[in-house]
Amino acid sequence: MAKRTPSIDTKNLTAVQLMELDSCTRCGECVKWCPTYAASGQKPGLAPRDKILRWRQYMNKSYGVKARLFGPEEIPQAELEEFKDDVHGCTTCGICATVCESGINTVELWEALRTNLVKKGIGPYGKQNMFPKLIGQYHNPYLLDQKDRLAWVPKDVKIEDKADIVYFTGCTAGYKQLALAFATSRVLNKLGIKFAMLGEDEWCCGSALIRTGQMHINDLPRETAKHNVEAIKKKGAKKVLFACAGCFRAAKVDWPRLLGQELPFEVVHITEFLADLIKKDKIKWEKSIDKTITYHDPCHLGRHVGVFDAPRYVLSHIPGVTFVEMDRVKEFQRCCGAGGGVKAGIPDLALAVAESRVKDALETNADILSSACPFCKRNLMDGRDALKADIEVEDVIVLVAQALGLSVEEPKQG
Amino acid sequence: MAYFSGLSDALRITFVQIMILSTIAIVVFLYGMIINFQKWGSGVTGYGLEPQEGKKGSAIRFLKTWWDQVTEESHHHGKPILEVLILDILFQRRILKRSPLRWFMHFTIFAGWMTLFALSGMMFGVEMTEKIGIELPFTPAEFREMLAVPNYIFGYILLIGVLIAVVRRLFVSEVREASIMYDWILLGGVFLVTISGFIADGIRTGFIWGFGLDPTTAPPAALFHSVISLFFCIAYIPYSKYIHVIATPLAILANKGGE
């Protein structure tokens, strides 16, 4: 009789991650805090604790004592498919890691499990499988022409050919949410900051591939990271500014790891840059925004890399702003629901999470729900619209532009 | 050669018996740990990698990967290793941040369990020292008496934690409903070891925990306590939720205290 082989393998799962499965004490903290578990109506399979339990059982069935003595136990394909659905029903927001009493790095565990399953031909989820083709072929996930990377740039914005500072626009701001790009570029101009942009040489940061378990496909994230780093070096940049939390996280954490070396430039989020200028008294506000504003921490900016204070500092220094906090903020923030490929793969779930977050904001009676990520903004707006709530959703940099008397609109032709 | 002061020769537990049982427990433990290390070592050595073709899981690979992660530079969350050891592992700060009651429960179990384990180890060391002929300023019997007070104190500390854990798991609905056999066995084992220890000692000394039982049952009660202690405290660790006593500190260290 042929020897049975395990139904799963350990590709992409590190030895430490396999140990982490056994370190879970099932305290249930992750279940209490998980935004997708809550928004799904507490679907048991989405609970982080349950996912850890299942993969531990799979590991024991495949490589445990019983498997060693009597051979691996088969895991039905349908069960693995169901597991795939559940492991993709996660925004990789990382709250489970923050509250985990065993200190498990759950975000990387989920990403590794996704990649492991994708390599086995199970997953990704829904439209997420378009990312490798789109990013590989078009260098952006929106099927748009790379030549149009700078098509949004209005005549009043001055971009240097080479400069110490590069503004990395990101696909979403550069193609879809132009107000963010207008605001960032005009604010920098207004403050006298000379900056360059990569234009056609700016490729997708690779975040969508890494978060959805497709980092191995044609080695695309490494290729895009390498390309972007080289393009930034050619511009002579010492500092790269990001207004997109997803790109920022990718450049700060994923690029150095993919390339196996530290980057030859500083990676800075626009809110950190502005907070520094405010501290040096280099910003002269021109308008007052007489509104109450609350702030949603993007997971990729906050929990993933620890930028919590800079956006709050900027907002609270805008004249006329009354800053209020929501119930769940900073490291305990509730995710907007868009991350981890959920917006692309399971939009209904993303919307349900966004609604929860908008409700948090409504409880503060704020006029504006701000954030520092175009992806969060998009999903929070969808949540706001679904609730028919009367609250403005706006990015911090757009509010800064307004307070500096700048337009974030495209200039009228003629 | 008596290991425990039994009241009759027929029921006396001998040193040889305990040594045989301990050896069996340690062998079973080591076998399970090797299997676990090999299972963990079937993982890859770094981010985004694949296992080497044809290579089986290796304990050395696990230990090397773990150590590399402990010593690598952290981009954001890392804390100094000494801080992690003292505050996150010994003091269990991560549990305290989430739930003071659960921290108190777990910390009393941890402190009681580990201290009693250490005291038993010290007692074993003194017995062994005497067996190999090294003279100490006290006899094993005297040393046992010296340990009596700390044994009681930490026994009661353990008991408090165990009782909170039992009540919580039985009567808090969200905890009870989420419990699976994996959880029940852990708690059942800890409860059994703790209570049997109190009863064995109570029968021997005639104090309240003896429940008026015949003193001649002291040796078998002690034997029962010793056997299940060796089982749950050593042999069964790698095959059950008890593995968290090893894996959780290793995970916290690997992740530099966690996020």
pLDDT tens digit string along A127-170? 889 999 999 999 999 999 999 999 999 999 999 999 999 999 99
Decide if B3 is inside a domain.
no
Of residues A10, A29, A252, nearest to B43 (C-beta):
A10
Whole-number pLDDT of residue A210: 95
Between CA B232 and CA A24 the distance in angstroms is: 19
B-chain CB neighbours of A16 within 8 Å are: 40, 43, 65-66, 69, 251, 254
Whole-number pLDDT of residue A3: 64
B-chain CB neighbours of A97 within 8 Å are: 258-259
Q: Are residues A113 and A175 part of one domain?
A: no
Calculate mean pLDDT across residues B121-144: 89
From the list A372, A309, A303, A377, the residue with the least C-alpha distance to A337 is A377
Between CA B200 and CA A363 the distance in angstroms is: 59
Of residues A10, A20, A258, nearest to B251 (C-beta):
A20
Using the predicted structure, report yes or no on whether residue B178 has a pLDDT greater than 70.
yes
A271 is in which domain, residue-wise?
130-276
Calculate mean pLDDT across residues A22-26: 98
Task: Give the count of domains, chain A.
Answer: 3
Between CA A308 and CA A311 the distance in angstroms is: 7
- Residue B122 belongs to domain with CATH number: 1.20.950
Q: Are residues A317 and A259 part of one domain?
A: no
User: Is B247 touching A (CB cutoff 8 A)?
Assistant: yes
Decide if B23 is inside a domain.
yes
Beta carbons within 10 angstroms of residue A413's beta carbon = 4
User: Are the beta carbons of A73 and A61 closer than 8 angstroms?
Assistant: yes
Decide if B4 is inside a domain.
no
Whole-number pLDDT of residue A413: 57
**How large a percentage of chain B has pLDDT more than 90?**
65
User: Are the beta carbons of B258 and A105 closer than 8 angstroms?
Assistant: yes
Point out the least confidently predicted range of A270-279, A354-363, B69-78.
B69-78
Between CA A275 and CA A314 the distance in angstroms is: 5
Between CA A272 and CA A162 the distance in angstroms is: 22
Decide if A1 is inside a domain.
no
B-chain CB neighbours of A215 within 8 Å are: 48
From the list A46, A50, A28, the residue with the least C-alpha distance to B175 is A28
Whole-number pLDDT of residue A408: 87
Decide if A205 is inside a domain.
yes
Which residue of B lies nearest to A215 if distances are taken between CA atoms? Answer: B48
Decide if A8 is inside a domain.
no
Question: Based on the number of CB atoms within 10 Å of its own CB, is B80 exposed (0-12), middle (13-18) or buried (19 or more)?
Answer: exposed
User: Are the beta carbons of A262 and A256 closer than 8 angstroms?
Assistant: yes
Whole-number pLDDT of residue B7: 41
Q: Are residues A394 and A313 part of one domain?
A: yes
Confidence of residue B40 (pLDDT cuts 50, 70, 90): very high
Question: SS3 of B193, please?
Answer: helix
The identity of residue A183, as a single letter, is A
User: Is A386 touching B (CB cutoff 8 A)?
Assistant: no
Q: Are residues A293 and A252 part of one domain?
A: no
Decide if B191 is inside a domain.
yes
Asked if B41's CB is within 8 angstroms of A68's CB, the reply is: no
Tell me the C-alpha to C-alpha distance, in Å, between residue B96 and each of A14, A269, A368, B72, B161. Answer: 29, 33, 35, 27, 15
Calculate mean pLDDT across residues A16-43: 97
Between CA A320 and CA A235 the distance in angstroms is: 38
A-chain CB neighbours of B174 within 8 Å are: 28
Confidence of residue B6 (pLDDT cuts 50, 70, 90): very low
User: Are the beta carbons of A293 and A366 closer than 8 angstroms?
Assistant: yes
Integer-rounded Cα Rg, in Å, for chain B is: 21
Decide if B156 is inside a domain.
yes
Decide if B10 is inside a domain.
no
Decide if A410 is inside a domain.
no
Confidence of residue A409 (pLDDT cuts 50, 70, 90): confident
Decide if A10 is inside a domain.
no
Using the predicted structure, report yes or no on whether residue B9 has a pLDDT greater than 80.
no
Q: Are residues A232 and A181 part of one domain?
A: yes
Using the predicted structure, report yes or no on whether residue A264 has a pLDDT greater than 60.
yes
Decide if A251 is inside a domain.
yes
Calculate mean pLDDT across residues B184-201: 95
B-chain CB neighbours of A17 within 8 Å are: 43
- Structure tokens that stand for A343 in this block: 């917006």
Q: Are residues A223 and A254 part of one domain?
A: yes
Confidence of residue B1 (pLDDT cuts 50, 70, 90): very low
Per-residue DSSP letter, B54: T
pLDDT tens digit string along A202-236? 999 999 999 999 999 999 999 999 999 999 999 99
Confidence of residue A414 (pLDDT cuts 50, 70, 90): very low
Q: Are residues A138 and A91 part of one domain?
A: no
Q: Are residues A209 and A119 part of one domain?
A: no
Tell me the C-alpha to C-alpha distance, in Å, between residue B93 and each of A136, A331, B61, B102, B221. Answer: 45, 16, 30, 11, 37
Cis before A124? omega within 30: yes
ipTM: 0.91
Decide if A4 is inside a domain.
no
B101 is in which domain, residue-wise?
15-45+55-254
Decide if B5 is inside a domain.
no
Q: Are residues A355 and A251 part of one domain?
A: no
Beta carbons within 10 angstroms of residue A85's beta carbon = 17
The overall pTM is greater than 0.90: yes
Whole-number pLDDT of residue B216: 84
Whole-number pLDDT of residue B84: 95
- Of B135 and A27, which is predicted with more confidence? A27
Of residues A23, A59, A257, nearest to B247 (C-beta):
A23
Calculate mean pLDDT across residues B201-225: 86
Average pLDDT over chain A, rounded to an integer: 95
Using the predicted structure, report yes or no on whether residue A332 has a pLDDT greater than 50.
yes
Distance from CA of B16 to the nearest CA of A (A): 30
- Residue A167 belongs to domain with CATH number: 3.40.50.1860
The identity of residue A58, as a single letter, is Y
Decide if A412 is inside a domain.
no
Confidence of residue B222 (pLDDT cuts 50, 70, 90): confident
Confidence of residue A330 (pLDDT cuts 50, 70, 90): very high
Calculate mean pLDDT across residues B71-85: 83
Confidence of residue A88 (pLDDT cuts 50, 70, 90): very high
Q: Are residues A91 and A19 part of one domain?
A: yes
| Residue B238 β-bridge partners | none
Per-residue DSSP letter, B44: B
Task: Give the count of domains, chain B.
Answer: 1
Q: Are residues A118 and A82 part of one domain?
A: yes
A-chain CB neighbours of B247 within 8 Å are: 19-20, 22-23, 102
Whole-number pLDDT of residue B259: 80
Calculate mean pLDDT across residues A182-198: 97
**Among A105, A123, A141, which residue terminates a domain?**
A123
Q: Are residues A304 and A251 part of one domain?
A: no
Calculate mean pLDDT across residues A280-295: 97
Calculate mean pLDDT across residues A381-392: 97
Between CA A384 and CA A391 the distance in angstroms is: 7
Whole-number pLDDT of residue B146: 93
Decide if B6 is inside a domain.
no
Using the predicted structure, report yes or no on whether residue B193 has a pLDDT greater than 70.
yes
Using the predicted structure, report yes or no on whether residue B97 has a pLDDT greater than 80.
yes
